Amino acid sequence: MPIPPLVVSTARCVWHWQWHQLMGGLGPADAEGNYVRPASPFASRPVVPIDAGESGRHVLIVGRSCPWAHRAWLVWALRDLAPSIDLLVVDPDPQAGRWTFAEPFLGCTTLQELYRLAGADLRARATVPVLVDRTEQRIVLGESARLIELLNQWPAEAGAPDLEPSAQAEAIGTWRERLQHHVNDGVYRCGFARNQVAYDRAETALFAVLEQAEQTLALQPWLCGEAPSLADVQLFPTLIRLELVYAPLFGVSRRPLWQFPALWQWRSRFWPLPGVAASCYPEAWRRDYFGALFPLHPSGIVPAGPELATLVGDLPAAAS
């Protein structure tokens, strides 16, 4: 028996209202419907000297599915900082909406408890990545853009790459700012947009910057020259998740990446760099995004997706 039109329209109105309430908890928006990322309570670079020489004192806390944590993980891996900074992976608890420790850390079972221990406001969101001083039981830094700068300056073994050399600092800074707003945060601005205008604005800006990156990478191997930089590090976590998560869930599928051949080849060059593959967990990404973002995907069903190996190799035959 067909459902009466009045029932359908009423259900649509009720669901739309509920969707707005749920989205408010998932990600705040401004008056025009644009997603606004909340600030981290530990966003300032430390002003006190850091004792970087004491092995085991500092701990980098990351989550497998978080792209912001992924960029810090990548710098930690590329510069081989394991001898001086321990890596600790937290797991999501989608029911409670928080990160949890497999074993208690500094007496805490959740990242939220660690934030409180470090003096964060009770209302602050506990997010990854965070760099923790285990000895002083404090959070050194919890904002990913500043954290990767700090990790790049961290004392490392001879031969560790400098991902922000002074000669390219201006170009790297320009790319990082562009990527942060329009690509890294841009996919979220698309997925969490409250209306069509906000989505269209974010989606247009996203693909405009990807086209700029495509043109640059058609002329040189990396965004800022002949070697990887912090700009490349910022781009990779978003692009490695593009087909697996962002295109189907956030609606950023206007142009698949194979239509950007230089970007595709760039992603394939980045993949074999030291520690990169070991930082990628496609099953966790898809499970956590599709399973946890209820307002965007109420069924919780995790759809099938491409194998990661097919995204980091040669271009598809149809694109060659």
Residue 16 reports pLDDT greater than 70: no
Segment among 46-60, 75-89, 211-225 with least mean pLDDT: 46-60
Per-residue exposure over 52-90, b if at least 16 CB sit within 10 Å of its own CB, e if not: beeeebbbbbbbbbbbbbbbbbbbbbbbebeebbbebbb
DSSP code, position 54: S
Mean of pLDDT values over 169-173: 98
Whether the per-residue pLDDT at 228 is higher than 50: the answer is yes
What is the layout of strands, in order, in the sheet containing 58-63?
A: 108-110, 98-105, 85-93, 58-63, 130-133, 138-141
pLDDT score recorded for residue 297: 74
In the chain, what are the domains?
58-153 (3.40.30.10), 168-319 (1.20.1050.10)
Q: What is the pLDDT of residue 76?
A: 98
Q: What is the pTM of this model?
A: 0.92
Mean pLDDT score of the chain, rounded to an integer?
89
pLDDT exceeds cutoff 60 at 11: no
pLDDT, one tens digit per residue, over 45-79 is 664 557 777 788 999 999 999 999 999 999 999 99
